[in-house]
Amino acid sequence: MRKRLLLVVALVLVVLLTVFISFNIKKLPFRAPFKTSNNTSASALVARASELEAMGNLVEANAIYQQLINEFTNSAEVANWQKKAQDCNIKILFSSIVTPKCVVYTIKPGDSLAKIAREFKTTPELLMKSNNISGDKIFVGRKIRVWNAPFNILVDKSQNILILKSDEDIIKTYVVSTGANNSTPVGTFKIVNKLSHPTWFKAGAVVEPGSPENILGSRWLGISLPGYGIHGTTEPASLGKQATKGCVRMANPEVEELYAIVPEGTEVVVID
């Protein structure tokens, strides 16, 4: 009888202890199983992309920045990742890295940079930059990297941006100025001439290159509508606004970059 009583008491104690433990567990703060957060994952990817950039693995770094943009769409860092991805694009363009948009060309007797550029619809400047060539001298038998995919330009007047594409892939987005009172013409055009350090012929005067009054800046890319083009500026504070007489105005370092990349014949589409 005594043993049976002790057993009942023990069972009651076990039940009471179980209830007590269960109650106090419910009162503890909730702790989810350890899981890498989005921020931590993004940080790890950014660190890896930076490491790859430093090693010169620009294609892989670019792919990681694109992954960040696609997977962390609500992050405040998206614009920064887009800039880093586009910086990688320009570095790849100006490097000897061979991508699916490139061919390897062996220089032949009678070749010149201008001739090769015409054949592949690229620019001598891009050939020089991507193959570390200084001057016009080239050597027969040397293999060079040639960008073989066509470029095209989209100017969006509503946002005052110029988008450089290769096929349908966005290479870089630039902030520009377009025409005051929406005066930049819309339509599809082509680049028909290119000038380095252009002279500005304005009514009643000729303004020499380099003059602070020369509003064309350091480069001119004329389009197939007489009098209109893409050019540099002496007024960088106006970028991002409708401020020109109809042309597309860029910062000088950026128009110089664009000038080196796109050849005559490049399509330019302007939209409202």
Catalytic residue numbers?
231, 247
Closest CA to 131 of 169, 103, 109: 103
**Mind spelling out the 3-state secondary structure of 183-224?**
CCCCEEEEEEEEEECCCEEECCEEECCCCCCCCCCCEEEEEC
- How far from chain centre, in Å, is Cα 40? 25
Answer whether 233's CB lies under 8 Å from 177's CB.
yes
C-alpha dihedral over 14, 17, 22, 28, to 10 degrees? -160
Encoding tokens for residue 189?
Answer: 């055009």
Answer whether 186's CB lies under 8 Å from 176's CB.
no
- Determine the number of helices (DSSP H) and then strands (DSSP E) in the chain: 7, 14
Closest CA to 95 of 68, 65, 66, 62: 62
